Amino acid sequence: MDIIVLRPDTSEEDIRHILKKLESKGLKANVSQGTERTIIGVIGDTSKITEEEEDAIRAANGVENVVRIVKPYKLASRDFKKDNTEINVRGIIIGGKKIPVIAGPCAVEGKDILAGIAEKVKAAGATFLRGGAYKPRTSPYSFQGLGEEGLKYLAAARDKTGLPVVTEIMDPRDMDVMMEYTDIIQIGARNMQNFRLLLEVGSVNKPVMLKRGLSSTIKEWLMSAEYIMSRGNHNVILCERGIRTFETATRNTLDLSAVPLLKQLTHLPVVVDPSHGVGKWDLVAPMSKAAIAAGADGLIIEVHTNPEEAFSDGEQSLKPDFFAKLMQEMKPIAQAVGREI
Amino acid sequence: MDIIVLRPDTSEEDIRHILKKLESKGLKANVSQGTERTIIGVIGDTSKITEEEEDAIRAANGVENVVRIVKPYKLASRDFKKDNTEINVRGIIIGGKKIPVIAGPCAVEGKDILAGIAEKVKAAGATFLRGGAYKPRTSPYSFQGLGEEGLKYLAAARDKTGLPVVTEIMDPRDMDVMMEYTDIIQIGARNMQNFRLLLEVGSVNKPVMLKRGLSSTIKEWLMSAEYIMSRGNHNVILCERGIRTFETATRNTLDLSAVPLLKQLTHLPVVVDPSHGVGKWDLVAPMSKAAIAAGADGLIIEVHTNPEEAFSDGEQSLKPDFFAKLMQEMKPIAQAVGREI
Amino acid sequence: MDIIVLRPDTSEEDIRHILKKLESKGLKANVSQGTERTIIGVIGDTSKITEEEEDAIRAANGVENVVRIVKPYKLASRDFKKDNTEINVRGIIIGGKKIPVIAGPCAVEGKDILAGIAEKVKAAGATFLRGGAYKPRTSPYSFQGLGEEGLKYLAAARDKTGLPVVTEIMDPRDMDVMMEYTDIIQIGARNMQNFRLLLEVGSVNKPVMLKRGLSSTIKEWLMSAEYIMSRGNHNVILCERGIRTFETATRNTLDLSAVPLLKQLTHLPVVVDPSHGVGKWDLVAPMSKAAIAAGADGLIIEVHTNPEEAFSDGEQSLKPDFFAKLMQEMKPIAQAVGREI
Amino acid sequence: MDIIVLRPDTSEEDIRHILKKLESKGLKANVSQGTERTIIGVIGDTSKITEEEEDAIRAANGVENVVRIVKPYKLASRDFKKDNTEINVRGIIIGGKKIPVIAGPCAVEGKDILAGIAEKVKAAGATFLRGGAYKPRTSPYSFQGLGEEGLKYLAAARDKTGLPVVTEIMDPRDMDVMMEYTDIIQIGARNMQNFRLLLEVGSVNKPVMLKRGLSSTIKEWLMSAEYIMSRGNHNVILCERGIRTFETATRNTLDLSAVPLLKQLTHLPVVVDPSHGVGKWDLVAPMSKAAIAAGADGLIIEVHTNPEEAFSDGEQSLKPDFFAKLMQEMKPIAQAVGREI
């Protein structure tokens, strides 16, 4: 059911016009004359009213507001599927009791350096390797990633360590090569509403990690998950990575309250990226612990053997020793919330 | 010149380490011991320091902050080119004394309805026709546009009315068909940092209208223009369309102060989209006038013969009569700021 | 009428509990079983439901959401009073056809310098004199204003020039002295929700200029006006002065769309402060013109004979000559929107 | 040291003018001609440059930007005082190893109900009682608190349970009565920049809990702490309670990254208010745990025996049993980060 609020002076004719429109969609209406406003309650399967039809109703004479009750996402909704979605990637479960940790450099910089980092994070207890082969950079003059070469290095590091690989896609034309090398396809924050790319990754049989857009609401984020799922790929992992606010003391504002809220709204697993969320390596440890305590299903953390020489995001990368220590420190917190790490 | 601010307790060794790094880039440094902080002034062509190198310096031991003085964009900067860029599209100048108005429906819905709207807006004084063939929609269940069919209708309407056409691209794979039919390629707000798409439209010989991202700073926006220009296409038009803020009473917050600020920072023309900026048709007229008064080089306004039946954004579309009246009302304002409409 | 949306699995008992609660307030309810959600429509004078009762309903078992239809402000609402409020200050009307301009320094710094500025802005066509005697500063170590001494200088400048005076109050304990010297009492942005101060200025017979809070919604702003009006003082002037957003290129983001929106929602006059809105003197002129074009009922502009020596906000102050030129340039824009300046 | 960045075309005369100004403050300057910009490095005790002088420099001819290196707060800074501030309130330490929990209703509603809640939260392990006697409400028609009567009930509940009391002040005229009844004076988010009130609580000998403003940066927040401390009262407790962002799914966005960041910047204790931060009772438990994991020095949680009948904020209040369970669940998390609860 939806509600249409009318302006105080709406004419009978305008009301009839709206009612006729609803009828044409097979919907019934219930007009209530209040002391200050008249309201039309729309009865029936209002999920059939599309966004554009909603806009059109809003544009009708006399309409002050339209309140939609039905959530615009379905497949992603907890109403649709009660049980948590568990995603199995080469034997590792995302969304289960054990919390996977994805670690690695921001960008893939070379074969040996990547292999070195992979071994270190594996030894520390990480269960996935991250690393960007295609890098979205604000400047055209910055390092844009090694491309397919980088994907090959990731695959090589996986072969050596057994760590499945997470890496970002930026262009639908790279789908084939991504399918060949990666285990989880990442959609970056800046592409959360790159709808064509969403449809593309929705059409393949590989898990997708969907990062939250810089200024995306939780509803829009779930709608982007819905885009992917609507094409058949239900293995979507949501990744909170900080939103843009007025505060500039941190790179972004990590919205940890999104974690427990999402666990109510959706059955999809939710992981947290504290590295991008705060943008300062010395805040990553406390925020990783906080994410676990808030109920996160996983973490993605930037680790680099030599942050000062990193090609990007050195500022927010942990050194392997520090990361190993953090992995140990998170164990009792995971246990305290009924999980393992 | 850039400045590196050190923490109070930074060791001599850490300072030497940073100085060596700068030297390796061919830069000189000037260390100043203040009472509270030590500062390194970097001398030389610091524009050579890439974003990733800046990050790496930030990650170095002892560094509290890095302050960059040089603007990260060059080609887009007013420093680079003093005179306003004027873009000639089939004989109509964008960026000149006369202010072009781009009008039309949000989405192309059908051949006849589009032709009808095109004639009406032309009669009212519009100089360009807008209309989406590929539509970015938050819901996968919403109307996604007519695709190439829609482009053909746009071209047909242009042939009939003489109005050059502006339409949005969402996917690099659509470049060929876009080149065939449109006169200005629009990059939508959600794709402002779809860097692959930017490089693509930067490689062709057709003007690009780059909308500001929902939460993009003016600096990031100019960096995205720089992406396009770095590939050779210098015909970029910036379009302010409202930013996302905490305020929900309007669809977005139209940032008109961006207009005079951009006229200082860049030589590129700046147009304003009041329709998306406010999202309510009855606020479009005052905000269009305000945009002209603020110094906008153009306007893009949604007009529909039947907003209530529009496939999208009916709420913010003007009816042709209302649009015609607005066109008249803007004339004296344009004149008051030394322009024509 | 209000709407209560229930979770899918709400028990009959929980529903009865809510209905009983509504009954106890003398309200009727209309329960509609939808396919996805059950909804309770609340019938009767729901304006009687206070904010705290609404919170309590939200807290009840089974409640997913509460949608309020009735606007929370009354006296400030256009529904309550159809005609524009015109406020007469020593013979000058705020809210009428002629647009008053309030000009002067950020802070009162001395008797002579203030008198000098007052004469210059009067000569340029300003109709009010502004100047802070009590200054809200983020730092305790900054100049905090001359206090009562400053008020005396303002009154002296008014006696000399005939310009009525606008100045800010920061403390309810300063009411008596404010009543003695000023013509319009200003509530600053940081005090927009200093409710005790609002009640105080609501209890006197002097116009109040209420600045919008840095992150206040238009609804909250009108609620603060309602606070003042609820005590009997209906002479409230709203002042848009920019909101805080993620953008740092301007001091604030001037929300000019608030102007035409407020003209729909309320009968109170709306003035604009472009000086604080953008924080850079060279953007003040275009934004002043834009404000007039958007329908503002007045402007408040910082003018200083020597901005570089100003005790505060020098960066955003106009020199008198520049201000005089702007006054001339705004005339045709005012005329274009059916006003005078 | 501070840096003044000049526009490319600044004249020799303009530079001399600025240098003379700096000299008059006893500061030395170091002019560096870069390839793109000229820069003036200001040497000496630049903390003497006030905010208004900074503004004036910004307003000088030729100045493009001023970069301040020195932090504007001193007493609140970790540079000023290396050791954590521990505040002793009737024998309970805030800022020490043991984490105090402040619990109680949003508003004091009656003597018996308050006493009942106080006993419950004490039994659950809370160490302070909260409750508002003066309530800042957005609507003038909402319950505004019991005033002095409420303070008496708080004192009575303290006498019965031994729990020291935290309550909010809204008006400097209430200082005497506050001093009589409360143990910690709370400054609410809406009054974080009510500078007169800050000076008032800075002049007394009682700890102050300073909530972060809805859209206040961490720097502004510390400046407000500095206001209080500058008057002699160094017992300031910072309270993160969520900031305003574009996201509306939660009441505010709880910025937990502020906690570890503040622990670097300041020696003052930092507590977290998850109840206001998220505004939904069922998210309070995970966010309380996350706050502890992030390093919070305390929590303030709304608890009510009957949230549905609460006079305010029922939606975000925990029932005593739920609160007691949460207290137990937080113990292992506190232990995991080297604390106790």
Cα distances from A228 to residues A90, A197, B138, B214, B251, in angstroms, run: 21, 9, 12, 22, 26
pLDDT in the model for residue B49 = 77
Cβ(D270)–Cβ(D259) below 8 Å? yes
Q: Is A79 a member of any domain?
A: no
Q: Which residue has the higher pLDDT, A29 or D335?
A: D335
C338: which chain B residues are within 8 Å (Cβ-Cβ)?
A: none
N-term to C-term CA, chain C:
43
Q: How far is CA C203 from CA A111, C159, C319, in A?
A: 74, 26, 37
Tokens matching residue D165? 């009391």
**Residue range B65-77: mean pLDDT, rounded:** 87
Beta strand pairing status for B298-302 and B101-104?
Answer: parallel
Per the listing, tokens 């209302």 go with B322
> Is residue B264 within 8 angstroms of chain A, CB to CB?
no
Find the Cα–Cα–Cα–Cα dihedral C249, C250, C255, C256, rounded to 10°.
-110
Q: Flag whether residue C173 sits within 8 Å of chain D, measured between CB atoms.
A: yes
Shortest CA distance to D204 belongs to which of D222, D183, D188? D183
Tell me the average pLDDT across B85-108.
Answer: 97
Q: Which residues of C touch B332 (CB under 8 A)?
A: 332, 335-336
Chains with ≥3 Cβ pairs under 8 A against A? Answer: B, C, D
A 10 A CB-CB count for A232 gives 11
SS3 state at D66: strand
Considering only CB atoms, A32 lies closest to which of C1, C67, C245, namely C1
Confidence of residue D35 (pLDDT cuts 50, 70, 90): low
Between the CA of residue B260 and those of A237, C289, C307, D137, what are the distances in Å? 42, 12, 21, 39
Q: Which of D254, D257, D335 sits opposite A278 (nearest CB)?
A: D257
Asked if the structure places residue B76 within a domain, the reply is: no
d(CA B331, CA C328): 18
Q: Which residue has the tokens 């290396």?
A: D82
Q: What pLDDT was estimated at residue A312?
A: 67
Chain C within 8 Å of D170 (Cβ-Cβ)? yes
A3 touching C, CB under 8 A?
yes
Same domain assignment for residues A268 and A222: yes
- Report whether pLDDT(C77) > 80: yes
Q: Strand order in C28-33's β-sheet?
A: C28-33, C38-43, C2-6, C63-68
pLDDT grade for D6, boundaries at 50, 70 and 90: confident
| Residues written for chain B | 341
Q: What distance in Å separates the CA atoms of residue A308 and residue A281, rounded to the nearest whole number?
A: 12
The Cβ of residue B235 has, within 10 Å, a number of other Cβ atoms equal to 23
Of C31-40, C234-243, D211-220, the least confident: C31-40
Over 80: is that where the pLDDT of C232 sits? yes
C163 in the same domain as C274: yes
- Give the pLDDT confidence score for residue D315 in this predicted structure: 79
Give me chain B's average pLDDT, please: 93
Kindly report which listed range (A42-56, B114-128, C184-198) carries the lowest average pLDDT score.
A42-56
Q: Count Cβ neighbours within 10 Å for each residue of D315-333 and write b for 16 or more, e otherwise.
A: bbbbbbebbbebbebbbbb
* Domain assignment of residue C152, yes or no: yes
User: How far apart are the CA of C98 and the nearest CA of chain D, in angstroms?
Assistant: 32
pTM of the model: 0.94
**Per-residue model confidence as pLDDT tens digits over D246-287:** 999 999 999 999 999 999 999 999 999 999 999 999 999 999
Please tell me the distance in Å from A244's CA to the nearest CA on chain C: 7
Sheet strands (E) in chain D: 2-6, 28-33, 38-43, 63-68, 87-89, 92-94, 101-104, 128-130, 165-169, 184-187, 208-211, 236-240, 270-272, 298-302
- The answer to whether C177 and C148 have CB atoms below 8 angstroms apart is yes
CA–CA distances in Å: residue C85 to residues C163, C234, C236, C270, D65: 21, 9, 9, 10, 43
Same domain assignment for residues A179 and A46:
no
Question: Which residue in this structure is represented by tokens 């295609």?
Answer: A134
CA distances from B192 to A246, B170, B195, D119 (A): 20, 11, 8, 57
Alpha carbon distance B210, B214 (integer Å):
12
Choose between B18 and C47: higher pLDDT.
Answer: B18
Q: Are residues C290 and C177 in the same domain?
A: yes
Q: Report the share of chain D in percent with pLDDT over 90.
A: 74
Name the burial class of residue D340, with classes exposed (0-12), middle (13-18) and buried (19+) by CB atoms within 10 angstroms of its CB: exposed
Residue A256's pLDDT is what?
A: 98
Task: Assess D293–B contact: CB distance below 8 Å, yes or no.
Answer: no
Q: What is the mean pLDDT of chain D?
A: 93
For all residues of chain C together, what is the average pLDDT?
Answer: 93
pLDDT at residue D85 above 90?
yes
Q: Does any domain span residue A109?
A: yes
Please give the average per-residue pLDDT across B301-310, as a whole number: 86
User: What's residue D27's pLDDT?
Assistant: 84
Q: How far is CA D332 from CA A150, A329, A332, A333, D281, in A?
A: 42, 12, 7, 7, 22
pLDDT band at residue B326, thresholds of 50, 70 and 90?
very high
Same structural domain, A92 and A63: no
Q: What is the DSSP letter of A85?
A: P
Give the best residue of B4, B33, B36, B82 to mutate against chain D (max D CB count within 10 A): B36
Which residues, 6+ apart, have CB-to-CB distance to D116 below 8 Å? D305
User: Is A24 within 8 Å of chain B by CB?
Assistant: no
**Residue D272 half-sphere exposure, CB side, CA atoms within 13 Å?**
30
The set of chains that have 3 or more CB pairs under 8 A with D is: A, B, C
In this prediction, residue A311 has a pLDDT band, given cuts at 50, 70 and 90, of low
CB-CB under 8 Å, D218 with A286: no
Helices (H) and strands (E) in chain A, counts: 11, 14
How many domains are contained in chain C?
2
Instruction: Give the span between the Cα atoms of D276 and D316, in whole angstroms.
Output: 7
Specify if D9 maps to a domain.
yes
Would you say residue D334 has pLDDT above 90? yes
Backbone angles phi, psi at C153, to 5 degrees: -65, -40
Residue D316 has pLDDT above 90, yes or no: no
Q: Residue A1 is nearest to which of C32, C244, C245, comparing CB atoms?
A: C32
**Residue D213 and residue D192 in contact, taking contact as beta carbons nearer than 8 Å:** yes
pLDDT at position A38: 82
Q: What is the DSSP string of C161-218?
A: H---EEEEE--GGGHHHHHHH-SEEEEPGGGTT-HHHHHHHHTSSS-EEEEPPTT--H
Question: pLDDT at residue B92 above 80?
Answer: yes
Contact A260 D287 (CB under 8 A): yes
Question: Using a CB-CB distance cutoff of 8 angstroms, which residues of chain C are in contact with residue D142?
Answer: 50-52
Residues whose CB is less than 8 angstroms from the CB of residue D311 and which lie 6 or more positions away in sequence, other chains included: C52, D106, D107, D109, D143
Nearest CA in chain B to D43: B34
Predicted confidence (pLDDT) at residue D327 exceeds the cutoff of 80: yes
- Which amino acid, residue D316? Q
**Interface contact A65, partner B, CB < 8 A:** no
| Alpha-carbon torsion angle D210, D213, D218, D220, nearest 10 | -90
pLDDT confidence of residue A60: 81
What is residue B2's predicted lDDT score, i.e. its pLDDT?
A: 79
Residue D312: which pLDDT band, with cuts at 50, 70 and 90? low
Query: Which of B19-23's residues contact partners 24+ apart within 8 Å by CB, and which partners?
Result: B21/A308, B21/B56, B21/B57, B21/B60
Domain boundary among A15, A34, A68: A68
The three-class DSSP label of residue A88 is strand
Least trusted range by pLDDT, from A113-122, A228-237, B2-11: B2-11
* B141 interfacial to chain A (CB closer than 8 Å): yes
> Is residue D38 over pLDDT 90?
no
Q: Do C257 and B295 touch (CB under 8 A)?
A: no
For D111, the token pair is 């003597």
Q: Are residues C207 and C270 in the same domain?
A: yes
* In a shared domain, residues A183 and A233: yes
pLDDT, tens digit, for every residue of D165-208? 999 999 999 999 999 999 999 999 999 999 999 999 999 999 99
At C311 the pLDDT is 65
Other CB atoms within a 10 A radius of the CB of residue C266 amount to: 26
pLDDT at C46 over 90: no
- Region C265-294: mean pLDDT is 96
Residue D233 pLDDT > 80: yes
Question: Which chain D residues are Cβ-neighbours of C193 within 8 angstroms?
Answer: 136, 138, 190
- If we measure between CA atoms, which residue out of A241, A198, A225 comes closest to residue A106? A241
Does A332 score more than 90 pLDDT? yes
C-alpha dihedral sign at D151, D155, D160, D163: positive
Q: Quick one: B127 and B271 in the same domain?
A: yes
pLDDT band at A3 (very low <50, low <70, confident <90, very high): confident
Identify the weakest region by mean pLDDT among A282-296, B222-236, D11-25, D151-165: D11-25
| Residue D118, pLDDT above cutoff 90 | yes
Distances (CA, A) of A278 to D218, D233, D290: 14, 32, 15
Contacts of C42 in chain A (CB under 8 A): none
How many separate helices (H) and strands (E) can be counted in chain C? 11, 14
CATH number of the CATH domain containing C198: 3.20.20.70
* Cβ pair A249:D217 closer than 8 A: yes
- Mean pLDDT, rounded, for B249-278: 97
| Residue-level pLDDT at A176 | 97
* Separation of alpha carbons D134 and D166, rounded Å: 12
Instruction: Identify whether residues D119 and D228 lie together within a single domain.
Output: yes
pLDDT (mean) for A195-204: 98
Range of the domain at B46: 2-68
In the 8-state DSSP scheme, what is residue A206? Answer: S
Name every chain B residue with its beta carbon within 8 A of the beta carbon of D47: 36
Sorting pLDDT into bands at 50, 70 and 90, what band is A43?
Answer: confident
Lowest mean pLDDT of B331-340, C20-29, C115-124, C246-255, name the range: C20-29
The reported pLDDT for the residue numbered B273 is 98
Lowest-pLDDT choice from B203-217, B311-325, C52-66? C52-66
Distance CA D33, CA B145 (A): 55
Identify whether D34 is part of a domain.
yes
* C175 band by pLDDT with thresholds 50, 70 and 90: very high
Instruction: Answer positive or negative: Cα dihedral of C79, C80, C82, C87.
Output: negative
Shared domain for A256 and A308, answered yes or no, is yes
Residue A94: per-residue pLDDT: 98
Residues C256 and B254: beta-carbon distance below 8 Å: yes
pLDDT at A36 over 80: no
Q: Nearest residue of D to residue B34 by CA position? A: D1
| Measured distance CA(A220)–CA(D104) in Å, rounded | 36
Residue A111 neighbours by CB distance under 10 Å: 16
- Does D315 map to a domain? yes
A31 in contact with C, Cβ within 8 Å: no
The CA distance from B240 to the nearest CA of chain A, in Å, is: 17
Give the contacts of B69 (CB within 8 A, at least 6 positions apart).
B1, B2, B3, B46, D3, D5, D34, D36, D37, D39, D65
Cβ within 8 Å, pair B196-A137: no
CATH number at residue D18: 3.30.70.1140
Within this chain, do residues A107 and A62 fall inside the same structural domain, yes or no?
no
Give the residue among C256, C239, C298, C289 at the shortest CA–CA distance from C98: C298
Establish if C124 belongs to a structural domain. yes
* Measured distance CA(B213)–CA(B191) in Å, rounded: 7
In terms of CA atoms, which chain D residue is nearest residue C71?
A: D139
Element spanning A87, H or E: strand A87-89
- Which residue of B lies nearest to C217 if distances are taken between CA atoms? B247
3-class DSSP state of D12: helix
Q: Which residue has the higher pLDDT, A154 or D69?
A: A154
Chains touching C (at least 3 CB pairs under 8 A) are A, B, D
pLDDT band at B64 (very low <50, low <70, confident <90, very high): confident
State whether C128 and C58 are in the same domain: no
End residue of a domain, out of A12, A35, A68 = A68
